[in-house]
Amino acid sequence: MPGAPGEPAIRARGVEVGYRGTVVWHDATFEVEKGEFVAVIGPNGAGKTTLFRLLLGLQRPLRGSLEVFGAPPRRGSPRIGYVPQRHTIDNDTHVAADVLVRLGISGTHLGPEIAFRAARKATLEALAAVGATELGSKPLGSMSGGELQRVFLAEAIGGRPEMLLLDEPLSNLDMRRTRELVELVHGLVQSRHVTTLLVAHDINPLIECLDRVIYIANGRVANGPPEEVLTSASLSELYGVPVEVLHDSRGNIVIVGGENPHERADA
Amino acid sequence: MTGGLSWNIVTDFREIWQYAFMRQAYEAGTIVAVLAGIIGYFVVLRRTAFAAHALGHVGFSGAAAAVVFSVNPVYGLLVFTMAGGGGMALLGRKAATRDIEIGTVLAFMMGLGLIFLSLYKGYATEAYSILFGDIEGVTVSGVYLTLEGAIVVLVVLAMIYRPLLFSSLDEDVAEAKGLPLLALNVVFMLLLAVAISFAVQVVGVLLVFALTVTPAATAVRITKRPLYAIPASVAIALVAIWAGLFIAWWPPYSQYPPSFFIVTISFGAYMLVRVGSSLADRFGHRAAPSVDANPGPMSVPKSSP
């Protein structure tokens, strides 16, 4: 199963995606190396989640070729762990967190759980790996946003995937929790050598640990190391309008001018 | 009703069980309690309580049709609730969009029921027993039919237990993991339809909520583990049915239908646990620090510097 050494984790060649009649983005050609920590950035509705749907095999490219670990994406691949943006869980979910983490490990199997010891062990390991051992018996419905994100992360890594797709995990967290979660994910990327794509609307909390940025805007996809992608020249070219990338004294980035790409969607 | 209440539970039950119709009532009631208690857990988890309620009403038109054609109402219930449940499942995949589609199917099925009702004259007791249940009227063959239906439902549920739980709790991840959400939803709605059809014998279409939703809604507030919550839900349904039948046997309560006592016990357990858990929350928070304050890499004071 594992592809050739040096084979990229993701290889996209001229990929075009969309839904009936609407192209979301097109001509995307990029590679992501194994073990990279990648931020997927771009305005709302630019097609960041669509990229995840492609990688998960939930949607097919309209054109071009896409390979994950050397093969076309296949729904249900155990090599990919996924944390979606939306969850069915709310205050009325009176179910302990470790039940969910365990379903991430053995939840697709039919019949009674025969290997329950192994599943329980993997559950405890996954919770420990995200520093959430003490959250295992807490009901999901009473958790804070930061606690939930750690549990979802444990659910995603329980099956020891080689790739993690995290959709907006930072969106409801305050600055401190954001930094803690980024550090946690970065630690997993390094210790487990797991290729990780993280969708975010703000690059700044991530900037120090990133290997690569995939910037989706205006129907196009830019890709490369942060210092190459996040420049005035590169983003102006991507958006097709002048965009300025400003840096403050602490290295934070502000992107000005590309906020309304839809006006020129056919550029 | 010979001896009167002796306050000796063994003697009392021996007296009640002298009568075949009461033995059958307890047998059917026990099977329905197990069935409804288990399926109810998934109803609560999947937020399909409205569907459970709607299926009861859909079942009314089915039972009415069966009576018009001189067929056992249970068959009418089964056919209509399964058609309705399957239809609902096929129309609405995502939880957020289900209400409208369920209402759409429900209205159509009620329309059908109206036609049958207009053909159906002079059967007031029959209509009454479908609406409010007639557990003491369950026949021996009715008990066997209930048992067979329950075995099918429980075997299927045991097979799909984990995928169903997964898709109920975290739909998007379950889908990405390759689970067939639509098929699971269809199977679940068919199982629910069967459970509702048999539960209607006990409490009727209008009160079926009290067996398919209330015990499970109570159980999830007692324990947060599915493998404890499901037996707890069954236990609550069992106590409600057994005690309801028991109370309705002895004068002066024997003039009232057992459905009333079953529903009241079920509701009472729910209220008890709601009040109890909100009290426990209030005092629990004061007594013990919340898990948020425990040590761990992410636990730092909430206020930012």
DSSP track, chain B: --S---S-HHHHHHHHTTSHHHHHHHHHHHHHHHHHHHHHHHHHHTT-HHHHHHHHHHHHHHHHHHHHTT--HHHHHHHHHHHHHHHHHHH--SGGGHHHHHHHHHHHHHHHHHHHHHH--S-HHHHHHHHH--GGG--HHHHHHHHHHHHHHHHHHHHHHHHHHHHHH-HHHHHHTT--HHHHHHHHHHHHHHHHHHHHHHH-TTTTHHHHTHHHHHHHHH-S-HHHHHHHHHHHHHHHHHHHHHHTTSTTGGGS-HHHHHHHHHHHHHHHHHHHHHHHHHHHHHHS--GGGS-STT---SS--
B291 touches chain A (CB under 8 A): yes
Task: Select the highest-mean-pLDDT range: A102-111, B55-64, B126-135.
Answer: A102-111
Residue of A nearest to B94 (CA): A88
Q: What is the pLDDT of residues B237-252, one digit of tens each?
A: 999 999 999 999 998 8
CB–CB contact B176 A76 (8 Å): yes
Say whether pLDDT at A184 is over 60: yes
Burial of B95 (0-12, 13-18, 19+ CB in 10 A): middle
Q: Chain B window 224-283: which residues touch A at a Cβ cutoff of 8 Å?
A: 224-226, 229
A146 vs B: CB within 8 A? yes
pLDDT computed for residue B107 by the predictor: 79
Among chain A residues, the shortest Cα distance to B96 is held by A88
Tell if the CB–CB gap between B161 and A177 is shorter than 8 Å. Answer: no
Identify the residue with better confidence: B205 or B266. Answer: B266
- pLDDT attached to residue B44: 94
Judged by phi (left if over 0) then psi (alpha if -120 to 50, else beta), residue A45 lies in left
Inspect the interface and report whether the beta carbons of B297 and A106 lie closer than 8 Å.
no
Residue B179 touches chain A, beta carbons under 8 Å: yes
Please say if the pLDDT value at position B29 is more than 60.
yes
Residue B298: the pLDDT is 39
Domain enclosing residue B57, as ranges: 15-206
Nearest to A56 among B160, B176, B300 (CB): B176
Q: Comparing A246-255, B121-130, B142-151, B202-211, which segment has the lowest mean pLDDT?
A: B121-130
The confidence band for B295, taking pLDDT boundaries of 50, 70 and 90, is: very low
Contact B297/A184, CB-based, under 8 Å? yes
List all residues of chain A from 239 to 258 with a beta carbon under 8 Å from chain B: none
Given CB atoms, is A150 within the 8 Å cutoff of chain B?
A: yes
| Residues 79-118 of chain A whose Cβ lies under 8 A from any Cβ of chain B | 80, 82-84, 86-89, 93-96, 99-100, 103-104, 106-113
Which positions in chain B touch A93 (Cβ < 8 Å)?
Answer: 45, 169
What's the number of domains chain B is made of? 1
Identify whether B286 is part of a domain.
no
Contact A74, B201 (CB under 8 A): no
Reply yes or no on whether the pLDDT at B1 is more than 60. Answer: no
| From A95-104, B118-127, B133-142, the region with the lowest mean pLDDT | B118-127
- Give the count of Cβ contacts less than 8 A between chain A and B: 123
Is residue B172 assigned to a domain? yes
Structure confidence at residue A249 (pLDDT) = 83
Share of chain B above pLDDT 70, in %: 88
Q: Which residue has the tokens 């390759």?
A: B178
Domain presence at residue B193: yes
Q: Residues of A with CB below 8 A from B177's CB?
A: 76, 82, 104, 107-108
CA-nearest residue of chain A to B172?
A: A84
Do residues A180 and A165 make contact, with C-beta atoms less than 8 angstroms apart? no
Per-residue pLDDT averaged across B182-191, rounded?
Answer: 94
Question: CATH number of the domain that B126 lies in?
Answer: 1.10.3470.10
Mean pLDDT value across chain A: 90
Average pLDDT, chain B: 86
Residue B108 included in any domain: yes
* B177 within domain boundaries: yes
Amino acid residing at A59: Q
A145 contacts chain B (CB < 8 A):
no
Over the range B132-162, which residues count as b (16 or more CB within 10 Å of their CB) and which as e? bbbbbebeeebbebbbebbeebbebbeebbb
Q: How confident is the model at residue A7 (pLDDT cuts 50, 70, 90)?
A: confident
Residue B20 lies in a domain: yes
Sort residue A47 into left (φ over 0), alpha (ψ -120 to 50) or beta. Answer: left
pLDDT value at residue A137: 94
Q: List the single residue in B95, B178, B226 with the smallest CB-CB distance to A99.
A: B226
Chain A nearest-CA distance from B50, in A, is 16
Structure tokens at A255: 């992107």
Q: Determine, yes or no, domain membership for B191.
A: yes
Structure confidence at residue A259 (pLDDT): 58
Select from B46, B161, B298 the residue whose CB has the most chain A CBs within 10 Å, as the one to mutate to test that interface: B298
Q: How far apart are CA B30 and CA B237, in angstroms?
A: 9
Backbone torsions φ then ψ of A169, nearest 5 degrees:
-70, -15
With helix as H, strand as E and coil as C, how does B224-248 read? CCHHHHHHHHHHHHHHHHHHHHHHC
Domain-embedded: residue B218: no
Cα(B182)–Cα(B93) distance, integer angstroms:
6
Q: B75 CB near a chain A CB, below 8 Å? A: no
